[in-house]
């Protein structure tokens, strides 16, 4: 992993009006960077804003406020058709639901080749076919699958088709939006291992969005924890698990089951209470309590966390 910033999210806000006088602050001023070649895991419970963050980064939503920079250029700035086409090629998304994200009327050949056709990446039907066969083999399928339809495949196979479609245009950055949550547990590890293998081979950069902390730790270099639209903690994967500082992060980690009956019998779940667990004398801000370990906290909490670190 290099220290070259591929993506910069700056004070990103995504608010939705739900009525004349009500607004949902799905993402409420988050800032983080993703470096070239790394996997940045984004975790939090359902409804915390992590999927909305991914969709805002890839321009499925226009940002309410703030900005996203991809290779130094604003994602949400005005773009002509040619610029949008280039952007859409460089940034791709793997969706959560492998059942809903594939067109049931299209063959696998046409689903995977759609990006090739749009971006003019192949010059003949023969080259198109060869490229699709190659992509299917890359994700663990075979060329015999090319003329079948999505309903003929299992959930894990459909997600592999979705991955092949994302890889077809040779992107630099891939947003994996809960790509394993709709799959059986036995299949989840296969898909995650495939993503890791592809990263090793081709140097992809991932934003991996999930709520399964154990799987996120396995695949991610760094992890960001979200709670109700706010980023509350960012650290290297191992550091976050060894030294969780924010009470919400501690609560999430305490809920991870381990394959140890003795541990499970005595495991204590840490309950998170935003009212009791924080100093409310001032507005919390993101502070670096240790190199590359950031926590949303007040000055008083910052001193407390530093003491605990020692």
From CA 33, how far away is CA 5, in angstroms rounded?
A: 7
Domain boundaries, the chain: 5-243, 244-310
Looking at the DSSP bridge assignments, the partners of residue 16 are 24
pLDDT(290) > 70 = yes
pLDDT band at residue 2 under the 50/70/90 scheme: low
What confidence category does residue 79 fall into, taking pLDDT thresholds of 50, 70 and 90? confident
d(CA 244, CA 221): 16
**244 neighbors 289 (Cβ within 8 angstroms):** no
Query: Confidence class of residue 12 from pLDDT cuts 50, 70 and 90?
Result: very high
Q: Is 87 exposed, middle or buried (0-12, 13-18, 19+ CB in 10 A)?
A: middle
Could you tell me what percent of the chain has a pLDDT over 90? 71
Q: Is the domain 5-243 a CATH 3.20.20.80 member?
A: no
Q: Structure tokens of 130?
A: 């060869």
Helix axis angle, 155-167 relative to 125-138, nearest 10°? Answer: 130
Confidence of residue 83 (pLDDT cuts 50, 70, 90): confident
- Sorting pLDDT into bands at 50, 70 and 90, what band is 1? low
Residue 78: pLDDT over 90: no
76: confidence class by pLDDT, cuts 50, 70, 90? confident
**Distance (Å, rounded) from C-alpha 266 to C-alpha 189?**
28
The four Cα atoms 66, 69, 75, 78 give a dihedral, to 10 degrees, of 80
Rounded Cα gap, residues 97 and 100, in angstroms:
6
Q: Among candidates 190, 204, 187, 224, which has minimal Cα distance to 48?
A: 224
Q: Which tens digit of pLDDT belongs to each residue from 158-202?
A: 999 999 999 999 999 999 999 888 788 888 889 899 999 999 999
240-253 per-position pLDDT tens digit: 999 999 999 999 99
Residue 37 reports pLDDT greater than 70: yes
């Amino acid at each position: 992993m290099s220290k070259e910033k591929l993506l910069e999210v700056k004070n990103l806000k995504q608010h939705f009006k739900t009525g004349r006088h009500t607004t949902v602050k799905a993402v409420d001023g988050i800032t983080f960077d993703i470096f070239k070649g790394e996997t940045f895991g984004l975790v939090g419970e359902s409804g915390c804003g992590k999927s909305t963050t991914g969709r805002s980064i890839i321009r499925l939503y226009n940002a309410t406020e703030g900005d996203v920079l991809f290779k130094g250029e604003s994602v949400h700035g005005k773009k002509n058709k040619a610029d949008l086409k280039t952007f859409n090629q460089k940034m791709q998304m793997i969706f959560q639901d492998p059942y809903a994200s594939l067109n049931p009327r299209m063959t696998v050949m046409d689903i995977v080749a759609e990006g090739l056709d749009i971006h003019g990446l192949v010059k003949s039907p023969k080259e198109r076919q060869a490229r699709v066969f190659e992509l299917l083999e890359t994700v663990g399928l075979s060329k015999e699958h090319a003329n079948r339809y999505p309903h003929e495949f299992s959930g894990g196979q459909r997600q592999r088709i979705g991955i092949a479609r994302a890889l077809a245009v040779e992107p630099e950055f891939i947003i994996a939006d809960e790509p394993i949550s709709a799959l059986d547990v036995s299949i989840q590890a296969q898909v995650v291992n495939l993503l890791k293998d592809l990263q090793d081979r081709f140097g992809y950069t991932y934003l991996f969005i999930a709520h399964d902390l154990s799987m996120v730790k396995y695949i991610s270099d760094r992890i960001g924890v979200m709670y109700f639209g706010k980023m509350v903690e960012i650290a290297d994967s191992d550091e976050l698990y060894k030294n969780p500082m924010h009470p919400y992060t501690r609560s999430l980690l305490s809920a991870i089951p381990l394959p140890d009956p003795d541990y499970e019998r005595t495991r204590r779940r840490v309950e998170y209470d935003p009212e009791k667990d924080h100093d409310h004398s001032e507005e919390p801000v993101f502070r670096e309590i240790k190199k590359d370990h950031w926590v949303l906290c007040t000055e008083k909490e910052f001193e407390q966390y530093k003491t605990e670190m020692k």
